[in-house]
């Protein structure tokens, strides 16, 4: 193993990234703050048809859309008369490695192969690792997955332990690290040593690969029901799922469909804390990723993140760990679908949002994920108990991340908490304005960019700029 110091490697970050992703991000800069997002995506050369074809050849996508009739009936037992929308789920567990992440990995594997890389690598502890390993296996590429996997006592998070096993089953090397953001440092060492393609979650390839999910589900609903869904619900972490799905919906013509993001509330737990690591119960789809990535997407491992969720989100809600475990049980008990809990985050939110909507309306939960030892409520709650977390039935409002997992006693108790999108947009704008280089001024191009970034209007952005100036003075 290389013994290069932390600083030595981090100083080479830009060069290593450029050669491992093969994108010259600089050329998309259009102003001190702005860049040409659409050009960055278009220049990959893959349009929707090309991506559908590539995914079709690697057995990715075309997953079933399942109407959840019994869950819809359950929604209606706790709704006002005339309310209780029809629930559908896109069964993404039917993808080769068991999650929608295969869509993200497929295009990276294709691009890596085309450009002559010997292998692909990714820094991920979740389903994406298995997806990259699976697509690499099919493409005949080497594969290395770098995981944050265990705490300083050597205790592995059960969901991540299952990912280790799955990646190794697909023939990938898995480097497991203890807790800390220096995972990125080790990842750079691996990229430098191997010359592998960086299958980052945040490249254009990764986001374009998800557009097919939004497109497919829109077309499936349209061909079955004669119209597009009213709401699509996506679990939200780094922003790729929301971004890619919403872009696919727009490409299908479903521009009026509302895009709602849902995350598990993990407020109070520190993402880089060795102690908190095994008290999270969820490794992704939680606010520990979704809030920082919504308010500043360019914190990613590439210079310009292609996942820009604030551009597409119409609403953002959180649910509790207990609510997700409850819905995971419900999906198995009355729909006969045993699926992994993390993927059911958006299902828990959709269940509650369906109560507010008219009976004729359609809400689509856009993913499921596979389940198995470790990636299951039993493995995760057994660890929670071992860590001293209070697991009990009751009002989910009493759920406290890292301290108490409260599992609802009745479906009527499932009530997502609204995230204030205005605050998130303002926080994004503050971060953007803070990144303005000294001596530079915000240009007209920047303003148009910030409007698109926040799905707002010029008045909104100008007010935020003025308020930022006042505070600086």
Partner 1 sequence: MTEHAVKNTWVEIGGVVLKKDERAPNLPDDTKQVPLEMRVKGFLVHDAEKGGEADIVTLSGRTVRGILTGINPEYDHMFGRPIPELSPIAGEIRAILRERRKTS
Q: Are 295 and 427 in contact (CB under 8 A)?
A: yes
136 or 363: CB nearest partner 1: 136
**Closest distance between partner 1 and the C-beta of residue 54, in Å?**
23
* Tokens encoding 197: 């393609």
**Closest distance between partner 1 and the C-beta of residue 437, in Å?**
22
**Closest distance between partner 1 and the C-beta of residue 33, in Å?**
25
Q: Quick one: which of 235, 226, 350 has its CA closest to 282?
A: 235
Which positions touch partner 1 (CB under 8 A)? 1, 5-6, 70, 73-74, 76-77, 119, 142-144, 149-150, 152, 156, 158, 161-162, 164-165, 168, 171-182, 185-186, 193-194, 270, 272-275, 325-326, 329-330, 332-334, 373-374, 376-379, 381-382, 391-393, 407, 410-411
**Closest distance between partner 1 and the C-beta of residue 26, in Å?**
26
Cα distance between residue 52 and residue 325, in whole Å: 33
Q: At what angle do helices 101-114 and 127-139 cross, to 10 degrees?
A: 40
Question: What letter would DSSP give residue 232?
Answer: E
62 or 77: CB nearest partner 1: 77
Q: Are 100 and 92 in contact (CB under 8 A)?
A: yes
Phi, psi of 210 (to 5 degrees): -90, -15
Q: Are 447 and 38 in contact (CB under 8 A)?
A: no
Q: What angle do CA 469, 471, 473 make, to 5 degrees?
A: 70
* Tokens encoding 85: 């929308």
7 or 115: CB nearest partner 1: 7
4 or 36: CB nearest partner 1: 4
**Closest distance between partner 1 and the C-beta of residue 325, in Å?**
7
* Tokens encoding 366: 């856009």
- DSSP bridge partners of 35: 29
What is the sign, positive or negative, of the torsion defined by CA atoms of 173, 205, 230, 450?
positive
**Closest distance between partner 1 and the C-beta of residue 45, in Å?**
28
**Closest distance between partner 1 and the C-beta of residue 143, in Å?**
6
The SS3 call for residue 394 is coil
**Closest distance between partner 1 and the C-beta of residue 76, in Å?**
8
74 or 87: CB nearest partner 1: 74
Q: Are 31 and 452 in contact (CB under 8 A)?
A: no
169 or 255: CB nearest partner 1: 169
178 or 427: CB nearest partner 1: 178
112 or 381: CB nearest partner 1: 381
**Closest distance between partner 1 and the C-beta of residue 275, in Å?**
5
**Closest distance between partner 1 and the C-beta of residue 424, in Å?**
23
221 or 349: CB nearest partner 1: 349
- DSSP bridge partners of 119: 142
Parallel, antiparallel or unpaired: strands 315-319 and 417-418: antiparallel
Contacts of 27 (CB under 8 A, 6+ apart): none
27 or 118: CB nearest partner 1: 118
Phi, psi of 317 (to 5 degrees): -130, 160
Please report which residue ranges of 253-399 form alpha helices under DSSP H. Answer: 287-295, 321-335, 345-356, 377-386
């Amino acid at each position: 193993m290389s013994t290069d110091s932390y600083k030595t490697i981090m100083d080479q970050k830009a060069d290593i990234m450029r050669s491992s992703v093969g994108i010259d991000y600089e050329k998309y800069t259009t102003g001190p703050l702005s860049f040409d997002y659409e050009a960055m995506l278009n220049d990959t050369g893959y349009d929707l048809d090309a991506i559908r074809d590539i995914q079709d050849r690697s057995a990715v996508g075309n997953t079933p859309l399942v109407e959840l009739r019994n869950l819809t009936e359950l929604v209606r037992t706790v709704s006002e008369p005339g309310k209780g929308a029809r629930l559908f789920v896109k069964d993404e567990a039917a993808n080769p490695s068991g999650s929608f992440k295969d869509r993200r990995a497929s295009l990276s594997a294709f691009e890596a192969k085309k450009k002559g890389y010997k292998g692909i690598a990714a820094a991920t502890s979740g389903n994406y690792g298995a997806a990259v390993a699976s697509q690499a296996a099919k493409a005949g590429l080497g594969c290395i997955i770098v995981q944050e996997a265990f705490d300083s006592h050597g205790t592995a998070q059960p969901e991540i332990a299952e990912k280790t096993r799955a990646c190794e089953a697909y023939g990938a090397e898995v480097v497991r690290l203890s807790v800390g953001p220096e995972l990125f440092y080790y990842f750079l060492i691996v990229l430098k040593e191997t010359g592998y393609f960086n299958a980052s979650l945040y490249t254009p390839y990764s986001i374009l690969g998800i557009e097919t999910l939004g497109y497919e589900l829109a077309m499936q609903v349209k061909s079955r029901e004669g119209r597009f869904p009213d709401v699509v619900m996506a679990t939200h972490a780094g922003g790729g799922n929301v971004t890619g799905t919403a872009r696919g919906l727009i490409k299908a013509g479903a521009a009026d469909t509302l895009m709602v993001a849902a995350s598990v509330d993990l407020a109070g737990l520190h993402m880089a804390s060795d102690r908190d690591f095994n008290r999270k119960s969820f490794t992704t789809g939680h606010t520990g990723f979704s809030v920082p990535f919504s308010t500043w997407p360019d914190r990613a491992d590439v210079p310009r993140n292609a996942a820009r969720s604030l551009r597409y989100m119409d609403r953002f809600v959180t649910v509790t760990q207990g609510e997700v475990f409850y819905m995971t049980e419900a999906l198995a008990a009355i729909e006969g679908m045993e699926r992994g809990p993390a993927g059911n985050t958006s299902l828990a939110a959709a269940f509650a949002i369906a109560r507010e909507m008219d009976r004729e309306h359609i809400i689509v939960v856009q993913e499921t994920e596979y389940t198995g030892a470790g990636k299951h409520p039993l493995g995760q709650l057994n660890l929670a108990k071992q860590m001293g977390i209070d697991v009990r039935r009751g009002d989910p409002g009493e759920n406290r991340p890292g301290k108490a997992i409260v599992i609802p006693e009745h479906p009527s108790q499932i009530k997502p908490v609204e995230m204030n999108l205005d605050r998130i947009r303002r926080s994004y704008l503050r971060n953007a304005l803070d990144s303005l280089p000294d001596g530079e001024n915000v240009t007209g191009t920047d303003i148009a960019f910030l409007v698109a970034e926040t799905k707002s209007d010029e008045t909104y952005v100008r007010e935020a700029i003025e308020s930022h100036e006042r505070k600086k003075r």
